[in-house]
Amino acid sequence: MEIIESDVRGATAWRILLILAPNESLGMSWQFGLKLARVNNGELVTAVVIPNKSATNLAAAQTAVAHIQTAAQPGNSSKTLIATDLHGTRDVESLVQTTGADLLLIRAESCLWQNGHGLDNVSCAVAVVRGDRPLAEKGEAGVGNGRQRILIPTSSGPNSAHALRLLLPLATNNDITAFFVANAAHDQNQEALGWARLREALQFVGGSERVQRKVVTRPSVIEGIVEEAAAYDWVLLGASQESRLDKVLFGDIPAAVVRYSQTPVIILRQPRNRLSHWAGKAAWQLRNLLPRMKESQRTKTYVRIRRSARPNRRFFILIALSAMIAALGLLVNSPAVVIGAMLVAPLMSPIVGTGMAVVLGDARFLRLSLGAVWRGVLLAVGVGALSGLLHLGQPLTGELLARTAPTLLDLAIALFSGLAGAYALSNSDAAGALPGVAIAAALV
């Protein structure tokens, strides 16, 4: 990578880098970047990239730079540069470091993007624009100062929070809406969950008073976002944690919104360091190895786990019986009896339900599951204490002593047993493995 011409001087508080080819017209993404740079007291650096330093390419780049400078108008924070030999991720990162960019803005349709420049190793925040439009389509020329409507579908992910924080300065002169789609396939608490998530997200970024909120209920999240996006100028989505930016974010919801939305979409990924890059890459490979469930299967799993996590008379009877069996098995020093107790105990369902409630942010389900766990544990402890009265004054058995000095290996056993149990409960086809989980945990 080589910079041929540049009017970028020194450091500034905040800087956006937009990469274009000489034949690409200025679009709404350039205008958006200029607005964002201005409200952050920073600069928009437009890099015109050419394949080599031939006279023809250089002349085309200089013409493009002149057009950018004219469109920016005096007083706007716009800088330009001409670069050549931009090949691969290292050159992109080198350009980011040279310009001191805090945000890299790239059009998905750009020929530079289609040539395969990867963005996984880029350390700064990255925004990929899909469906960019020429300024003329909006009836604007140069730098428009009119209000724009920006929709930010929000989840609990870090990229969504970064998107809200990034656009917060624009809220003064633009209409920004944090948006949540409650899935109609789930229970009636989804809408309340959506309002709670929006409130928490806006409190986290300090935007409670400046950003509007909206929650709708639709059969699918994608349908809700695409339908709502029609009334906005931009849709800004946080990058899916399971997708790769250098594949135009073909992960679940962002990719579907990009595919069906008629409104320009920006996919944003927060800054990352080398450690987080390799961790994300490992997580991506792991997700590819693990089986994925369809939405209908996830809904059935959610309903099944929620139903089984509810404590009822049968739940408490089985807890009491399993605790008594386990206590007697320990007193007679019989691991086989302890195994039998673990096969009877129904405590696995509310424990898995607690984990699922935490992941979903479902406070009501969390209270239900935790209540079942605590009442089950207290009942088991009480039954065990009563059983211990039968063995007063007797020497401790080997099974009892083995459980008085846990080690890190025992913690690992609990961890992997929990993973196996959660997987078996989440997949009805694997439910037959639950007895094996209990037996393995008891034997080890």
Q: What is the mean pLDDT of residues 374-378?
A: 91
Which among 124, 140, 156 is the end of a domain?
140
Nearest to 13 by CA among 94, 71, 77: 77
Answer yes or no: is pLDDT of 52 > 50.
Answer: yes
Query: Is the confidence at residue 222, as pLDDT, over 80?
Result: yes
**Is residue 39 in some structural domain?**
yes
pLDDT digits (tens, 9 = 90+) for 305-320: 888 888 888 889 988 9
Tell whether the model's pLDDT for residue 140 goes beyond 70.
no
The model's pLDDT over 171-221, given as tens digits with 9 standing for 90+, comes to 888 899 999 888 766 656 678 778 888 888 888 777 778 889 999 888 888
How confident is the prediction for the chain on average, in pLDDT? 78
Looking at per-residue pLDDT, the higher value among 163 and 137 belongs to: 163
Indicate whether 340 and 248 sit together in one domain.
Answer: no
264, 202: one domain: yes
For position 340, what pLDDT does the model report?
Answer: 77
Q: pTM score, two decimals?
A: 0.60
Indicate if 62 and 15 belong to the same structural domain: yes
In a domain, 119, yes or no: yes
- What is the DSSP secondary-structure string of 372-390? HHHHHHHHHHHHHHHHHGG
Residues 68 and 198 in one domain: no
Structural domain contains residue 288 = no
Question: What pLDDT is stored for residue 151 in this prediction?
Answer: 92
Domain total of the chain: 3
Give Cα separations from 290 to 39, 280, 284, 286, 294 (angstroms).
44, 15, 10, 6, 13
Show which of 240, 273, 306 is a domain's final residue.
273
Which residue is listed with tokens 């996830």?
Answer: 298
Q: Is position 361 within any domain?
A: yes
User: Is 186 part of a structural domain of the chain?
Assistant: yes
In this structure, the answer to whether residues 382 and 403 fall within a common structural domain is yes
Mark whether 89 and 173 lie in a shared domain: no
Per residue in 3-16, pLDDT tens?
A: 888 888 877 778 99
The answer on pLDDT for 241 being more than 80 is no
Residues 151, 119 share a domain: no
Does one domain contain both 419 and 302?
Answer: yes
Q: Which residue has the higher pLDDT, 429 or 402?
A: 402
Q: Report the candidate in 266, 253, 199, 219 with the shortest Cα–Cα distance to residue 18.
A: 266
pLDDT band at 144 (very low <50, low <70, confident <90, very high): very low
Taking the CB of residue 283, how many other CB atoms lie within 10 A of it? 12
Q: List beta partners, residue 237.
A: 267
Say if residue 92's pLDDT is above 80. Answer: yes
Site of tokens 């927060």: 270
Collapsed DSSP state (helix, strand, coil) of residue 310: coil
- Beta carbons within 8 Å of 113's beta carbon, 6+ residues apart: 106, 107, 128, 248
What is the span of the domain harbouring residue 423?
295-443
431/334 Cα distance (integer angstroms): 26
User: Does residue 340 belong to any structural domain of this protein?
Assistant: yes
pLDDT of residue 431 exceeding 60:
no
Q: Based on the fold, state whether residues 29 and 96 are members of the same structural domain.
A: yes
Distance from C-alpha of 137 to C-alpha of 189, rounded to nearest angstrom: 41
Are 220 and 329 in a shared domain? no
Residue 94 and residue 203 share a domain: no
Question: Is 97 domain-assigned?
Answer: yes
Please identify, among 70, 105, 140, the residue that sits at the C-terminal boundary of a domain: 140
- What pLDDT is attached to residue 186? 60
Q: What pLDDT score does 399 carry?
A: 79
Q: Give the list of residues 6+ apart from residue 371 with CB closer than 8 angstroms, or none.
A: 311
Asked if 16 and 95 sit in the same domain, the reply is yes
Spatial separation of the C-alpha atoms in residues 5 and 53, rounded to whole Å:
11
- CA angle 218/223/229 to nearest 5° reads 110
Beta carbons of 195 and 214 less than 8 angstroms apart: no
Is residue 278 a part of any domain in this protein? no
Long-range pairs for 62-69: beta carbons < 8 A, 24 or more residues apart: 62/5, 63/22, 64/20, 64/22, 64/23, 64/24, 65/5, 67/26, 68/26, 68/30
Q: How far apart are CA 399 and CA 389, in angstroms?
A: 17
CATH label of the domain that carries residue 7: 3.40.50.620
